[in-house]
Amino acid sequence: MNNWHLELLRLSQDGMLRSLRVVDGGQGPKVLVNGHEVLLLCSNNYLSIANHPALVERMVAATREFGVGAGASRLISGTMPPHAALEERIAEFKGTPAAILFNSGYAANTGVLQGLLGPDDLIFSDELNHASIIDGCRLARARTLVYPHCDMTALAELMERETANRKGRWLIVTDGIFSMDGDLAPLAELCDLKETYDALLMVDDAHGTGVLGSRGRGTGEYCDCLERIDLHMGTLGKALGCAGAYLAADRVVIDMLINHSRSFIFSTSLPPGVPAAAMAAIDLVDSEEGRQMRERLEQNRLQLAGALTAGGMDLLGSTTQIIPVLSREPAPTMQMTARLLEDGIFLQGIRPPTVSPGRCRLRATVMASHDADDLARAAAQIIAVYREFSP
Ligand SMILES: Cc1ncc(COP(=O)(O)O)c(C=O)c1O
């Protein structure tokens, strides 16, 4: 009747089968996997604030005051004081007139692109953009032109070529920090191009928010062009340690999404404790304590990336806390991952379709709370395992 078991068997034979792993003990620098303590090198809780007392207390207090569930979607009866207050705070933080919450980054990217664009519009999308952006382009049913990764000459040529037949709106969309390569989009050049060609620029700053910029306002602040970006998407579940996502933009954009974005309209809103905790997270990020966390994160990044590079690893141009080690094929990648876990180092092997064939990698992420000795040990083990299993 169905051939799913055959498909799963084929995935398994190709070294591509995925399965879930329970991670116990809270999202700290060390966690329990299969009852053993391991160094956590694959969490996006970059600032290690997912279990910070300020966030936990705000979440508990809001839960006591408002209950666990929001009970309805935002347009019905699910807009509660913590949702409204957080949207105002995010707009102020990003320097835009308004902001809107989504239940996840996936819901934000699909809902924003579908909610704002249609078949007459044209999207220019970086080839390494996140899957949720790709799906959002499909849902928008807009024509989508994919440009080579961060290649501004190619993008300019595409835009020039399309100018003669222009109709509808134009939007350039890019990750701020690319989620699998850990490199940065050239935001200043993207701003120049979108201004030259009268397009909008949307930046998915899932991995930059809280991490980059003097106030932690993300890749735009770091590249000194925050106010030139039209649509600021970011997530609350990575460096901010909570859950959910947002788009910050002009009021008319937000009103359009409230009226037209299907993932916003047709979904129960976040539990009120979540925006309450996210408010505490932004306050923390935007404080001296947040600045110190970013400094520690940067030190840790430099240490791990430096040691891996010295050991001859190819880090694919990473300049951020996302540190991939190119391992190419699925089978050795998963052997390395399994061996590292046995040795107390927990990171993920990344395979297609998340990355293109031949570009498998061990994706390590550092956190502000990692200890220098642990990182030194991890680097030595990654290099040793790579040398043992790499073809
Ligand atoms: C660049 C990027 N955008 C969006 C998302 C989706 O965010 P969320 O996990 O909140 O759905 C992710 C997360 O994996 C991401 O890496």
Report, as an integer, the average pLDDT of 137-154: 98
The model's pTM is: 0.97
Q: Is residue 15's pLDDT more than 90?
A: no
Look up 179 and say whether it is catalytic: yes
Look up 232 and say whether it is catalytic: no
Rounded to 5°, the CA angle 192-194-197 comes to: 105
CB of 237 closer than 6 angstroms to any ligand 1 atom:
yes
pLDDT digits (tens, 9 = 90+) for 106-126: 999 999 999 999 999 999 999
Let me know if domain 16-45+292-389 sits in CATH 1.20.1080.10: no
Look up 207 and say whether it is catalytic: yes
**Catalytic hit among 83, 130, 238, 370:** 238
Query: Which residue ranges does the chain devote to CATH 3.90.1150.10?
Result: 16-45+292-389
- Nearest in space to 30 (alpha carbons), one of 384, 390, 389, 378: 378
CA dihedral in degrees (311, 312, 315, 320; nearest 10)?
Answer: 40
Say how many Å lie between the CA of residue 3 and the centre of ligand 1.
31
**Catalytic hit among 194, 207, 232, 370:** 207
CB of 175 closer than 6 angstroms to any ligand 1 atom:
yes
Ligand 1 pocket check: which of 44, 45, 102, 106 to mutate, most ligand atoms within 8 Å of Cβ?
A: 106
CB of 363 closer than 6 angstroms to any ligand 1 atom:
no
pLDDT digits (tens, 9 = 90+) for 177-227: 999 999 999 999 999 999 999 999 999 999 999 999 999 999 999 999 999
* Percent of residues, the chain, with pLDDT higher than 70: 99
**Alpha-carbon distances of 324 from 38, 203, 316, 321, 351, rounded to whole Å:** 19, 22, 7, 10, 12
Q: Is residue 391's pLDDT more than 90?
A: no
Domain spanning 53-285, CATH architecture: 3-Layer(aba) Sandwich (3.40)
Q: How does the average pLDDT of the chain come out, rounded?
A: 97
Query: Which residue ranges does the chain devote to CATH 3.40.640.10?
Result: 53-285
